[in-house]
């Protein structure tokens, strides 16, 4: 009789909510972190795909002709030169100092170093582009008889449009190298890429910035890696692929965080939905503004390329 009376009591008792995943263990943060990282990478790839120029559909030049036109950019007075650099096809070597410095001084130290690699994708008629800009400083000395040590380094990689100013130091040999002369130099990656784009455009090729260094490297058999886009979707354009993958990773990341923090039932309450919708509106408005700025800059660059000499 006592047992039978317990069933109505159990039926009328409120069901206790299970603890959220984040309350159970901090390890449940790892999937959220991984999804967020993939979302950011997809966002960068999406941006790079949208600012890329498309190849001409009719009568594009072959790879050898494009290579010849690019090497023709080498000339006197240029702060850079293009040279063969396997496993990539070409490398942009930036050397802003006067050639006489190499003979006058034992060493020339630059505060900023710039390199760019190109790969000519004849199948898609694309000039793949990846660039690296790094700056470093190191100081050992004394201040009021106190030893001082300072150093710093930063690196940009992928694709960027900057006009940078650095210093070049002519140094004499010795146990403690002496700086004899210093000059300021200017690095203009905008003008450099404008010339590369112009050559690609006149040849009927597109210009495609790449995010990762291995995307401008050929395999040992000479083929080009395309592993970031699954074979089942290769018939999509890169804009279509990343334009779908990026929003999907955003939904996956936000959805997992909400469910892991508050449970499935939280998705049915306005207390949870309103902040999520507000943050999403803010996120996508910022993203839309960034895309608009890049689109306007890229449109201006293409117009300047088209007005250039044929």
> Higher-confidence residue: 305 or 183?
183
How many residues in total does the chain contain?
310
Strands 163-172 and 80-84: unpaired
Please report which confidence band the pLDDT of residue 52 belongs to, taking 50, 70 and 90 as the band edges: confident
Q: How far apart are the first and last CA of the chain?
A: 99
The model's pLDDT over 124-172, given as tens digits with 9 standing for 90+, comes to 889 999 999 888 766 555 545 566 565 667 788 888 877 777 878 777 7
Q: Is the predicted pLDDT of residue 103 greater than 90, yes or no?
A: no
Q: Is the predicted pLDDT of residue 308 greater than 60, yes or no?
A: no
Q: What are phi and psi of 89, to 5 degrees?
A: -90, -45
Cα dist. 164→17, 46, 76, 111 in Å? 57, 26, 22, 11
> In which residue are the tokens 């018939």 written?
235
pTM score above 0.85? no
The mean per-residue pLDDT over the stretch 227-244 comes to: 72
Beta strands in the chain (DSSP E): 80-84, 90-94, 107-110, 112-121, 126-143, 146-158, 163-172, 178-188, 206-209
The mean per-residue pLDDT over the stretch 97-113 comes to: 75
Q: Which helix (H) or strand (E) holds 12?
A: helix 2-12
Distance in angstroms (rounded) separating the CA atoms of residues 76 and 168: 20
Distance in angstroms (rounded) separating the CA atoms of residues 308 and 310: 6
- Which are the contacts of 273, defined by CB distance < 8 A and separation ≥ 6? 267
Q: What is the pLDDT of residue 127?
A: 93
* In the chain, domain spans: 24-53+229-310, 60-225
The mean per-residue pLDDT over the stretch 66-74 comes to: 91
Tokens standing for residue 161: 């449009």
Please report which confidence band the pLDDT of residue 186 belongs to, taking 50, 70 and 90 as the band edges: confident
Q: Which of 8-17, 256-265, 283-292, 293-302 has the lowest mean pLDDT?
A: 8-17
The mean per-residue pLDDT over the stretch 200-216 comes to: 90
Q: Rounded to 5 degrees, what angle do the CA atoms 128, 131, 133 make?
A: 175
Q: Is the predicted pLDDT of residue 270 greater than 60, yes or no?
A: yes
């Amino acid at each position: 009789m006592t047992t039978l009376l317990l069933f109505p009591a159990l039926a009328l008792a409120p069901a206790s909510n299970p603890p959220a995943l984040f309350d159970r263990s901090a390890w449940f943060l790892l999937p959220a972190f991984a999804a967020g990282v993939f979302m950011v990478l997809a966002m960068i790839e999406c941006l790079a795909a949208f600012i890329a120029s498309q190849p001409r559909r009719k009568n594009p030049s072959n790879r050898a002709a494009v290579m010849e036109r690019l090497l023709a950019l080498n000339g006197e007075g240029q702060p850079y030169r293009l040279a063969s650099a396997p496993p990539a096809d070409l490398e942009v070597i930036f050397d802003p100092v006067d050639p006489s410095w190499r003979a006058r001084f034992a060493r020339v130290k630059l505060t900023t170093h710039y390199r760019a690699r190109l790969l000519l994708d004849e199948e898609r008629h694309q000039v793949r582009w990846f660039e690296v800009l790094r700056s470093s400083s190191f100081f050992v000395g004394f201040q009021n008889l106190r030893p001082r040590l300072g150093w710093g380094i930063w690196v940009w990689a992928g694709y960027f449009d900057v006009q940078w100013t650095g210093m070049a130091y002519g140094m004499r040999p010795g146990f403690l190298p002496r700086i004899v002369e210093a000059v300021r130099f200017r690095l203009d990656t905008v003008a450099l890429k404008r010339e590369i784009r112009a050559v690609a455009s006149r040849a009927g090729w597109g210009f495609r910035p790449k995010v990762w260094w291995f995307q401008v490297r050929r395999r040992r058999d000479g083929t080009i890696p395309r592993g970031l886009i699954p074979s089942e979707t290769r018939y999509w354009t890169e804009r279509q692929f990343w334009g779908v993958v990026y929003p999907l990773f955003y939904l996956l990341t936000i959805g997992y965080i909400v469910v892991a923090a508050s449970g499935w039932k939280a998705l049915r309450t306005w207390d949870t939905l309103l902040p999520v919708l507000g943050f999403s509106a803010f996120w996508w408005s910022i993203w839309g503004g960034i895309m608009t700025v890049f689109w306007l800059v890229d449109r201006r660059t293409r117009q300047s390329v088209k007005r250039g000499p044929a």
